Amino acid sequence: MSFFSDLKEQVVDPVAGFGVTFRTMFRKVVTEEYPKEKKPTAPRFHGRHQLNRWPDGLEKCIGCELCAWACPADAIYVEGDSNSEDERFSPGERYGRVYQINYLRCILCGLCIEACPTRALTMTNEYELANDSRKDLIWEKSDLLAPMLPGMEQPPHPMRLGETEKDYYRGTYKEGVEQPATTPGTWSATPGKDAEETFG
């Protein structure tokens, strides 16, 4: 009895274990030619963050710091400041004067996006964030702000789309101002339903 158990232990078991290895040896190897060939990401992929703007160029961030409170990795730092009629960066009373995301800590979970009440913060499909400098992985507000599009004006400037903050959030823009177009995978600049819940 011990002879057969020893035979199984010394011969059969090792051969069975190498079965996976032998099968793999004859399979075609799938090689991803990255970075020469990059596969497209899913539309809702969690890549680097972006601070969005209104169609007139004003910032959507109101400096409320909810994103920083929601971050489980403590990767976001925000300092809010008050707008004035002479220097207006967002339609509301406040704006994010300092905005930093530490990509050494960020886990790209998206909880900050869900916490943002104005949809100022979204995530792009950009994922190549590697850097040989720790300092350069702390992104400042200027790095995160969405680029200026045609028709936008660099803040600070007065409100162009409406008379009050409510006009921006409701999407009830002044006559002659076109409704902003949205592309697949981005939030609408006129949330409508959220505005009704907020402002009644």
Q: Rounded mean pLDDT of the chain?
A: 85
Q: What is the extent of the structural domain holding 133?
A: 49-175
Catalogue the E-assigned strands of 44-165: 49-51, 76-82, 94-102, 121-123, 138-139
Residue 111 vs residue 27, higher pLDDT: 111
Give the C-alpha separation, 182 to 151, whole Å.
Answer: 15
**Residue at 194 is within a domain:** no
For residue 31, is pLDDT > 90?
A: no
67 pLDDT band, cuts 50/70/90, is very high
Q: What percent of the chain has pLDDT over 90?
A: 55
Q: What is the pLDDT of residue 180?
A: 53
**Residue at 154 is within a domain:** yes
CATH code of the domain containing 165: 3.30.70.3270
**Residue at 13 is within a domain:** no
Lowest mean pLDDT among 17-26, 50-59, 102-111, 137-146: 17-26
**Residue at 188 is within a domain:** no
Q: Total domain count for the chain?
A: 1
Contact 110, 46 (CB under 8 A): yes
For residue 77, is pLDDT > 60?
A: yes
**Residue at 106 is within a domain:** yes
Residue 125 vs residue 199, higher pLDDT: 125
Residue spans of alpha helices (H) in the chain: 2-7, 13-25, 66-70, 111-115, 141-144, 165-170, 193-199
| H or E stretch at 127 | none
